[in-house]
Structure 1
């Protein structure tokens, strides 16, 4: 490499920008799901169409299918273009939601609902670009970066849930109160999507510690980081590139990586199958009527999101971080006990027990997600870590898709169709 002001042999501790990089990763994670979480608040216009279930079921096939294609070809995909394209698509779809609401005067209806379903598909495509691309990119950097990114994902849900409670209290009895809250969410989301485009395109790539890890990945044979290195002022010498390729041992194929890490992949799949078979559809439609009235599902959603967010910081304490592959699988499998527990709690328990139970669901989801995502890439080269990050997110989205499909089983036979 020529014009390289980062020595791949330099100790990364000496490099500047770690704190800023962690903050930027958090914002990029926040921007990855804030629009989607805001979109779900629009669902209150369309309660008769099961929006919490339908919109998610529309979103997930597009996310899963797009990521499957990207993960299969990840070694040839330009990560910079992939992530920027994803954030631009998030921005455009979120802005379009505002335009749709203005055009329909917030009256809802089946026509607007179909248009919103189309934008849900767009969010799925954008999510596949960004979540898989960012996870693969951060997987060969410091574990704190990927932890911060996934904390940002959870923070988007926590913030929107908090704002939803605030706007319900402020606007619940005012004319068009729900619409005012929804427009506030979408405006905030649009701003953050634009901010993510700016931060990724002009800030993140130029941080010294980020340049170090990308230069190191390039020396290990990664081709996906070339554009980001060029944006940071580090040019790749074609002759030296060929020399690196000749000296770099063959990386494991995606199939070999999957078989080597099949337990981590199944952890992500099963973890999110359980979570999404309960959250959010079951909480909106199957928890019965309680003293909190219309506030009840909103409080349950908020408690899940807050618990999930807090739990994603617990693995930063090394002494209580779960790293054993065997115990990760055991704990993930044990979460299937949540399904009968939620059923009987909704049927016989009061709201206090349900709030405690949903908090536990959020804690286990956030904690285990970060544990798996930070432990799995250890010992991998840059190109392998990038591929593994994409594979793990693919299984994560696969788990979400299966969970959302299974979520419909809760309403079979109860007259809700």
Structure 2
């Protein structure tokens, strides 16, 4: 853990986030280059290239999500709600574009490829804007400068480059205070032990969600009246409800802050596994749409509740470190969920 503390002191949040945003934009653009360069043909070469680009997306996501959550945690935990609402909004936008391209190119030659090219071109444009906004304008916002200055006075060393970008130079007295408080801050191990239930919460949320979404919805939904539109509608409903649910905690009386209540609610979500199995086997499309909507609703709501409650009561350096640790467990849960997604195919294979 001492190595991690030393490493965090060397890597500032600005470098980490900008690198992540640039890698996102570059990787998206490379998908376009790969497709256009091969004229959409398959083969082992393009496949390996696509795998490498997918790995770059994972690295970019880890940089941006960890860095931003850590940064927003030391500012104000409620800011995390807006960030995660933005992530959900991107899912809604993606679903909207997919439905649009399906309608526009569904019956044309190479319609799926044309829709994908349009999607990645639009994505590259928006991701490039994100790089500019974060690098040039975000550090200069008054509220951002206030919280980062406050974090620096409490001993945070990861905000120095952001403060310099905003035109704020820490004087020698502040640096001395920061060095003194650096020795008083909690270690990563201490933070993790104090918040192990929150870390487990995020792991369990995303193990369940990604073991169902989106793989199960494409492979195990059967044939229904909506035909080829059916999985697209399911994905869109999940994304829309996931977005809406991330705003629910803004209503204080609806926000769950009990640690025990959060854990019980998250464990209860695992009842969705048999529910999805039997609905796919015996239910109609209306029940499946309702179930998918509930999956999205609980995913977004519980994620925001955990991440906005956990950093409270800590000073800037601890909030930053805790935000990074929690995102680490979120990503581990995401990876585990995607890895377990294939287990649905076992039961499906036995039916044939």
Cα displacement (A) at 1:249: 6.4
Q: In the TM superposition, what are the counterparts of 1:188-227 in structure 2 within 5 Å?
A: 188-227=122-161
The answer to whether the 8 A contact 2:156-2:182 is kept is no
Encode CA deviations 1:244-293: one digit per residue, 9 max, x unaligned. 42256611100100010011111000000000010011011111111211
Q: In the alignment, what sits opposite 2:262?
A: 328
Q: In the alignment, what sits opposite 1:316?
A: 250
Say whether 1:366 aligns with 2:300. yes
The answer to whether the 8 A contact 1:283-1:297 is kept is yes
Cα displacement (A) at 1:115: 1.2
Q: What 5-or-longer segments of structure 1 have no aligned partner?
A: 1-68
Q: In the alignment, what sits opposite 1:165?
A: 99
Partners of 1:250 and 1:299 in 2: how far apart? 52
- TM-score, with normalisation over the residues of structure 2? 0.95
Say whether 1:296 aligns with 2:230. yes
Say whether 1:348 aligns with 2:348. no
Greater mean deviation of Cα atoms: 144-153 or 274-283: 144-153
Aligned residue pairs total 349
Q: Quick one: which of 173, 186, 199 aligns to 1:265?
A: 199
**Secondary structure of 1:223's match?**
coil
Greater mean deviation of Cα atoms: 76-85 or 231-240: 231-240
The answer to whether the 8 A contact 1:151-1:312 is kept is yes
Say whether 1:125 aligns with 2:22. no
Q: In the TM superposition, what are the counterparts of 1:138-149 in structure 2 within 5 Å?
A: 138-149=72-83
Root-mean-square deviation (CA, aligned residues, Å) is: 1.8
Partners of 1:207 and 1:70 in 2: how far apart? 30
The answer to whether the 8 A contact 2:156-2:178 is kept is no
Encode CA deviations 1:90-148: one digit per residue, 9 max, x unaligned. 11111100001101212334432221111000011111111000000000112332111
Say whether 1:87 aligns with 2:53. no
Say whether 1:183 aligns with 2:117. yes
